[in-house]
Structures are given as C-alpha cells and as structure tokens.
Structure 1
C-alpha cells in the first residue's frame, strides 16, 4: 500500500498568467490537498472519500484518478489493476488546483507502487495531458508546483518544462474560497482573444519586474508588481465585491491581492502574521458565502508531493 499527499496550489499568482504557480500549505497543521492511497486489487476499483467527494463524477470513467490510472498503464504498456482511494480534501472548481492535486497524487502513487517505471519528466508530461482534458489546453502551473513544491516558472519547451523561482519565506499567503464553484472553462471563455499593445507592455513590465525583484530580494518591489492585466479585469465579474475587498484589505495591511487560478478563490499576501490574521478574519466575515467556504493563512509549500507514513509525512 502507498499513500500520497499533493498540496493545493495558486496558479498565475496574478502577474504570471499560465506561467507561474505556487504550492501552498496552511501554517496550522491542516491538510489542504488531496490524498490518494493505492492498494493491490484483482480488478480496477475506485473509492472516493473526503469532505468534497460528493462533488466528484458518479461514473468511474469520468473521474480524474481513473483517467490517471488509464494513461499510466498506457504509457508503461501494461495494465496494472489496483484499488485507488481518493480522499478529496479540495473543492472542485475552486481555483486551488483541485484537479492538479488529484492528478499529481494519483500518478506519483501509481509510479511508486509499481517501482518507479516512469521518470520525473515523463510524469510531468502526463500530468499536463490530464490537465488538458479539463481546460482544453495543456497547463503545468498547478501540477508542477503541487508535484515539486515552491514557486515555478513554466517554460514548456522540449528541454526545460519549468524553472525554480526564489520566494520570500516570511510572506503569508491568505486564501479564501467562498464556498461556490467557478469552472475553469467559464473563466477562460470571458478572456479576449487579443490584447492592446499598451496592455502587453504593462504585463511584460510587471512580470519581468516581479521575477527580478524575487532574485534581488526586493520585497516591496515584488509585491507592487503583482498586478493582473490579463485575466482579472474580465474575471472579477464572477467574484462578489472583488474591487471593494481589495480596497478594504489594503487598509488592513495587505501588500498584494489577486485571483487564485481561475477563481473564485482569492488570495492576499501579508508580510507579518498579525496582519494576516486580520485579513483572514475579514475574508471569513465578508467573502465566504456558504457553510463550506473557508479561509487559511498559508506559506509556500517547499516540498510538494509526499508520502504519508505511519506517523508523519515522508519526502519522496
């Protein structure tokens, strides 16, 4: 038996549409990611558990973990029957890399269970292919951070799929999911096919300045560059009182604010825990719309996917 945990992630980070992503973990010992257990079985079996398991497709053939098993077997050119148990801890269509977490945990668990027939680069490519089934395009900005941890710059060429990006370890990332769904396909459908020269220049300036600031350890400059020119102006219509929340948390002390992935989760960055607690409280009181909604203070997850042992997590 093998048991694997894959953390939640923030795609885009506001400034890096489709090319930046970060793995996150709550600061107070809370699983914010899916867990997949693989057991021996004479036939392929799938069991869904966890808080958000009822949101998953009822047919096994529509489940991402089954699709991950299918593509894994096809790649190694051998059918390997197993019992897959998915503990669904992330809400579907939340903007927290829910599908990526399930994909990463399943593929890594299968690969370990069968003595690692696939190398890291091949696993990453399979992860991207499975993400394509959801959004229509191959994306790595959630799967790679969830798999490898940290902040990743997605390059997607033949020799280099990603690069590691430095980050500020004392930044606190507050995420808030309102408790409602927003599909990736809907979020992408409102984006324009073409952007003005002015917007392209502004986006390039912000992204290059952000990367430069991370490498040169300029916190204030990095925070000021987290401006979303590409998606936020069009997607914020789906997020209740988005602009007003931005103004209010800036007054509290937030240094950056944006949409996590395609939404409806939003994120804020603070440079101290006291301010982060105040922002979290604000989100709980003003952004959460259902009983299922939540807000957590997180930091960047430097590890990524890991094996769950009898007493604790084990790095892979």
Structure 2
C-alpha cells in the first residue's frame, strides 16, 4: 500500500536572523507548497521516479537525487541495510529559489523513511540527519530551512543546545506573499557573497535586531516586531545578485506592505502584510512585475503550523 508524505516550503533568515531563523509557509487558498514523496512498497533495489511542476529542474539521472542520498544516510545512521524501496517524488518547489527546495526534499525523505520504519530515530536525531544532508548541498550545516520544514512554524535555532531549535510565537493575522521570479540563484554562490567576518558594529546591530524581534514576538508587540526587521548581514552582501529589490520594495511599501525581504538566499522575495487586502495587492503587483517565465509563482501565505507529515492524497501541490 502506497504511503505518502509531505513537507512545506520554508523561508530562511526572515531578514533579521541569518542562519538562526526559519519559517514554514502554506498558501491561504489551501494549496500545498512543498514536496510530496510516495513510498509505493518494497523492491529488490531502491528506485526513484519523478513528476511535478519542477521535475525538469532536477538531474535526469535519478541516481544523483537527494532522496536516494538521504536513504543511504538514513541506513548509515541506523548501521544496517534496509529493504529496497519504490519511491516517487512529486517535485513542487523550484530549485535554487530561496524556498528551501533542497531542504524540503531532504525533510520529506528523512521523515518518510523514519515513519515507514517505525521511527527508529528521535526527533533530535532526525533533525541532525536532515541538517547534515542539507550541508552537503549548501556547503555548510545549518538548520534554518530543515527545522521549520520538519516542525512547522517559526523556528529559532539554538547553537550549542541539545534542543537545536525552539518554536517562536507569531502574529496570526500576518500574511506573507512569496514571489519566485522563475530564475535560479545558487545557495552556494549567495553564501559566498557574504563576508567571512563582520565589523563589530554590524555584529552588534545583528544581535540587537534579532533580540528585539524575538522579544517583540513574545510580548506580542506588533509595531516593535516590524520595526526590528532589518537585514544587516545577507541583503547588503547580496545586493548585486538581486538588483530589482530596491524598486520592488519601494513599490510594495507604497501599497501598504510593512516589510520586504529576501527569502533565504533568493531570488524569491517575501512581503509581510498586516491584512488580506494588502497581501492581495502585493501579490498582484509581484505577479505582474517580478515573475519572468512559466516557472514563476506567487502565493499569499500564512505560517504553516504543521511541518512534515503523512498525507492521504499524493496530488501535486500546485
């Protein structure tokens, strides 16, 4: 019997928390925005087939797919060989988009394997495995995409803690418009643009902004939370990679959007809105002025309260 699993898209950094904040999002219209993996049963040798809107962005040779790499890592972590699996990935997130595409595939795969084999790994062990697999793609181990895609919500990473991350409060009425232009931006290239060292002044400003934002969330001080959203680390370094951002920001702010930032490494942008009406205007503007081709997409989203999970319906997400 086929078992299907889903993991949602995620936005890393959330402007104010480079490598330390990540949020999972879902469209308000009920569509799925993420990847679905189906385990169709066991077989002699593990095999993977592909479909979905963004199948064409993946390597044609499925032997080089993240899903199969995750199965190898999962078996290595358990220290034993497992049966071959007949797998099918519905790839519904674009690659190199800033929506946690690789993290989403890794999360849905690791979650699926752990669930299918009666959960031999704990939540923390599984999250560590996901982050290690993601590190092989992005060039460094970090949790800001895998954690929200796995657990849902807005997650604060806790380096050095056994907890690894903590779920943060949010504002239920906030809407986030995610707009992907249809072009790709390498995560490794985007990370390479960031200087290896920051001036002391910038480091203090970064710590102050993140502290201010987290404090405002717990106090449910909306104005303070919005005021804290300023990217002093990634966006200045990536300005040349996303030259359209200043124009987009100005136009969207004039429509009532309270913050515009880069989703993860980009090129997807996120527009934070306080009302459905403003979100609709922002989505319309971005669809008209930022989408470049047939791969592009724009969604009005809310925070996804749930992360990776089993689903009954393998229907593609969009």
Name the TM-score class by shorter chain: over 0.9
Correspondence 1:8 to 2:9: yes
Correspondence 1:21 to 2:22: yes
C-alpha contact 1:240 1:287 (8 A) present in aligned 2: no
C-alpha contact 1:94 1:177 (8 A) present in aligned 2: yes
Correspondence 1:167 to 2:152: no
Q: 2:270 aligns with which of 267, 270, 292?
A: 267
Q: 1:112 aligns with which of 115, 118, 142?
A: 115
Correspondence 1:72 to 2:74: yes
The farther-off stretch of 173-182 and 158-167 is: 158-167
C-alpha contact 2:283 2:299 (8 A) present in aligned 1: yes
- Residues 216-231 of structure 1 aligned to structure 2 (within 5 Å): 216-231=219-234
Task: Note the residue ranges of structure 1 that are not aligned, 5 or more in a row.
Answer: none
Please state how far the C-alpha of 1:291 moved relative to its aligned partner: 2.0
* TM-aligned CA distance change 1:4 to 1:228, over 3 Å: same
* TM-aligned CA distance change 1:195 to 1:310, over 3 Å: closer
Which residue pairs with 1:291 in the alignment? 294
Task: Note the residue ranges of structure 2 that are not aligned, 5 or more in a row.
Answer: none
- Residues 129-144 of structure 1 aligned to structure 2 (within 5 Å): 129-144=132-147
CA distance in 2, matches of 1:311, 1:294: 21
1:57-82 CA distance string (max 9 Å, x none):
22333210000000111111222210
C-alpha contact 1:226 1:257 (8 A) present in aligned 2: no
Q: 2:65 aligns with which of 63, 66, 70?
A: 63
* TM-aligned CA distance change 1:38 to 1:156, over 3 Å: farther
Correspondence 1:123 to 2:126: yes
Correspondence 1:185 to 2:218: no
CA distance in 2, matches of 1:113, 1:232: 40
C-alpha contact 1:2 1:112 (8 A) present in aligned 2: no
1:23-78 CA distance string (max 9 Å, x none):
00000021100000112222110111111111112233321000000011111122
C-alpha contact 2:38 2:314 (8 A) present in aligned 1: no
Counterpart of 1:7 in 2: which secondary structure?
strand
Which residue pairs with 2:156 in the alignment? 153
Correspondence 1:214 to 2:236: no
CA distance in 1, matches of 2:116, 2:31: 26
Please state how far the C-alpha of 1:135 moved relative to its aligned partner: 1.3
TM-score of the pair, normalised by structure 2: 0.95
CA distance in 1, matches of 2:229, 2:138: 24
C-alpha contact 1:103 1:130 (8 A) present in aligned 2: yes
Q: Report how many aligned residue pairs link the two structures.
A: 312
Please state how far the C-alpha of 1:164 moved relative to its aligned partner: 1.2
1:138-190 CA distance string (max 9 Å, x none):
01101110111000001132522011111111100001000000010110111
C-alpha contact 1:4 1:105 (8 A) present in aligned 2: yes
CA distance in 2, matches of 1:195, 1:158: 24
CA distance in 2, matches of 1:265, 1:236: 14
Counterpart of 1:75 in 2: which secondary structure?
helix
Please state how far the C-alpha of 1:311 moved relative to its aligned partner: 10
C-alpha contact 2:3 2:39 (8 A) present in aligned 1: yes
CA distance in 2, matches of 1:238, 1:62: 28
CA distance in 2, matches of 1:137, 1:47: 28
Counterpart of 1:296 in 2: which secondary structure?
strand
C-alpha contact 2:257 2:273 (8 A) present in aligned 1: yes
C-alpha contact 2:157 2:164 (8 A) present in aligned 1: yes
